[in-house]
Amino acid sequence: MSLLTPDLLRELVAEARLAPSVHNIQPTRWRLLADGRPALVDDTTVRAPIADPTGHDVRISHGAALEGMSLALNRRGLSIVDIAIEDQPLASPHAVLCRLTIGSGADSDPLADNVPRRMSWRGTFAASPQDEAALAQLVASLDNIVCIRDRKQIADIAAWADEAELSFTREADFRRELLTWMRLSPNDPLYLQSGLNREALAMNAIEAVGARLVLGPLFPLLDKLGLAAALLSDRAKTSSAAAIVLFCRPRGEDPLVSGRHFYRLWLEIDRAGLAACPMSSLADNPAFNDRLRATAGLGDEVRLVNAFRVGRPTASMAPRHFRLPVDQLIV
Ligand SMILES: Cc1cc2nc3c(=O)[nH]c(=O)nc-3n(C[C@H](O)[C@H](O)[C@H](O)COP(=O)(O)O)c2cc1C
């Protein structure tokens, strides 16, 4: 067993925090236990209870952070040899979710290099002759995805994604919560640290003002006039994707485990030279989840966890990460 020092844990956390989290809320904390083992800790005060009422996406986010830690360890020739998951974590502000035992001697993980490059791409995609080969590489490297490439099916899914998103956006509480995580002005003290800022959302200053109004006081009127759907639409972006990738996992799997695979899929997408954005509302809305399942012919043993739009970005992706400082992540 390898014991971690406080300095090493800081280095590891600096990399593990690059994992994705729902709305970039970053619920994961880390602790060095008295016996030198690291523990993954849930900051129970960090939640998005309207968008994620069951805590499913928070647990997926913890799983992604856990995989981030595994990759950070791997870069140093270390690995997680045991994960002791707490059955009933205490619901204090900082609840230990699992304790990790670290060992030495890991083969280098091919995805470790993609960690600093991966990011959510919320712009449009440009078709490229290399898409075919890139998607073939992706499908060959993973057995838990369905890759939809048919243009008509992609166009249908783009329309469904808008409908699914609108079904949530129509709830005032959902809009209110989303706005608390949106950092629409660079003057927001948390602009570079958490939540979704203008840059991450691929919005300019004018679009950001528009988003605040559309998701804020103007929504009921715009919806009544039939304008909200068009103003919030991502249809063109989704339709421009080279593929819709369905992320599927065995039914009954702990989302902490699914979250590790969720991150690995996203890193594989990056490794294939592509970019992606999840469309959670498609998976979270039961009617659209069913439609996607039927489109892909998924069996009952499989759960459709999320759907990504995937393709080649229209602009170069300068890696950027808006994350909490390491000091705040170690408790
Ligand atoms: C479980 C989960 C669900 C997500 N759902 C969405 C989504 O529906 N739409 C979206 O634009 N981003 C979604 N994201 C992406 C996060 O917003 C993103 O990972 C986070 O803002 C950090 O930014 P980065 O991916 O660029 O590092 C999701 C991420 C996770 C972990």
What CA–CA distance (Å, rounded) separates 127 from 36? 49
| Alpha-helical segments (H) within 5-144 | 6-16, 56-74, 131-141
The pLDDT assigned to 127 comes to 95
State the pLDDT at residue 202.
94
CB within 8 Å of 103: residues ≥ 6 apart? 1, 2, 78, 79, 80, 81
d(CA 100, CA 8): 15
pLDDT tens, residue by residue, 20-47: 999 999 999 999 999 999 999 999 999 9
Decide whether any atom of ligand 1 lies within 6 Å of the 329 Cβ: no
Q: Are strands 145-148 and 94-104 parallel, antiparallel or unpaired?
A: unpaired
- pLDDT, the chain, mean: 97
Ligand 1 contacts CB of residue 321 (under 6 A): yes
Which of 244, 222, 246, 225 lies closest to 235 in space, CA to CA? 244
- The token duo for 210 is 């528009």
> Which atom of ligand 1 is nearest to 281's Cα?
8
**Residue 44 to residue 33: CA distance in whole angstroms:** 19
Q: Is 244 helix (H, G, I), strand (E, B) or coil?
A: strand
Angle between helix 151-169 and helix 286-296 axes, rounded to 10 deg: 170
39 and 100 in contact (C-beta within 8 Å)? Answer: yes
Q: Name the residue with the closest Cα to ligand 1, atom 27.
A: 119
Paired tokens of 80: 């997680």
Q: How far apart are CA 8 and CA 33, in angstroms?
A: 13
Residues (pLDDT < 50) of the chain are: none
- Output the six-digit token pair for 230: 């068009």
Token digits for 100? 């990790």
In this prediction, residue 287 carries a pLDDT of: 98
Q: Under DSSP, is residue 165 helix (H, G, I), strand (E, B) or coil?
A: helix
Cβ of residue 61 lying under 6 Å from some atom of ligand 1: yes
How does DSSP assign 159-186, residue by residue? HHHHHHHHHHHTSHHHHHHHHHHEE-ST
* Angle in degrees, CA 251, 253, 256, rounded to 5: 140
Identify any residues that bridge with 40 across adjacent strands, giving them in sequence order: 30, 98
Give, in words, the CATH class of 131-171+233-311.
Answer: alpha beta
Per-domain boundaries in the chain: 6-116, 131-171+233-311
Helix (H) / strand (E) containing 307: strand 302-311
How far, in Å, CA of 169 to CA of 144, rounded? Answer: 29
| pLDDT single digits (tens) 144-193 | 999 999 999 999 999 999 999 999 999 999 999 999 999 999 999 999 99
**CATH topology identical between 6-116 and 131-171+233-311:** yes
Q: Is the CB of 68 under 6 A from ligand 1?
A: no
Q: What's the confidence (pLDDT) of residue 159?
A: 98
Task: Give the number of the atom of ligand 1 that is nearest the alpha carbon of residue 201.
Answer: 11
Q: Which residues of 248-274 are buried (b: 16+ CB within 10 A; e: fewer)?
A: bbeeeeebbbbbbbbbbbbbbbbbbeb
Which residues, 6 or more positions from 82, have their beta carbon under 8 angstroms from its beta carbon?
100, 101
Q: Is 267 in the pocket of ligand 1 (CB under 6 A)?
A: no
Is 3.40.109.10 the CATH number for 6-116? yes
What pLDDT, on a 0 to 100 scale, did the predictor assign at position 316? 85
pLDDT for 1 equals 85
